[in-house]
Amino acid sequence: MFLMQILFMSGVTLTIGPKRTVKFFVKPQNHVGSTCFLGGLMLVFVGWPVVGIIAECYGFLALFRSFFPAVIAFLKRLPILGSVLTIPVIKDFITMIGGGRKSLPV
């Protein structure tokens, strides 16, 4: 679990750069997500993995919710998965989670 957390954080940093990573996590609209995600990370490190994972999941969704429309748009272009994502129940769920943002927040 510890290794996965380190790899995720280093992957984000290597992908968008250290400055932009810090800038992303300290944006005012990301404070709740950052606090939950980094707090959950610390809980996992100190030995409370279940509570930490729950906090991290909430923080992850709060932080990266604005990326979901871009990911969904990519997934809709895949041959089999694209047709599955057009099923009404799944489409409504994706719309509820993804929102309508067209540009990436970074």
Confidence (pLDDT) at 25: 87
pLDDT band at 69 (very low <50, low <70, confident <90, very high): confident
For the chain, the average pLDDT equals 85
What is the arithmetic mean of pLDDT over 91-101? 72
Taking the C-alpha atoms of residue 18 and residue 106, their distance in angstroms, rounded to an integer, is 12
Which burial class, exposed, middle or buried, applies to 11 when counting CB atoms under 10 A from its CB (0-12, 13-18, 19+)? exposed
Structure tokens at 32: 């709740």
Confidence (pLDDT) at 24: 87
CB 55 within 8 A of CB 36: yes
Q: What is the pTM of this model?
A: 0.68
pLDDT surpassing 70 at residue 98: no
What is the arithmetic mean of pLDDT over 85-91? 88
- Percentage of the residues of the chain whose pLDDT score is greater than 70: 91
pLDDT surpassing 90 at residue 9: no
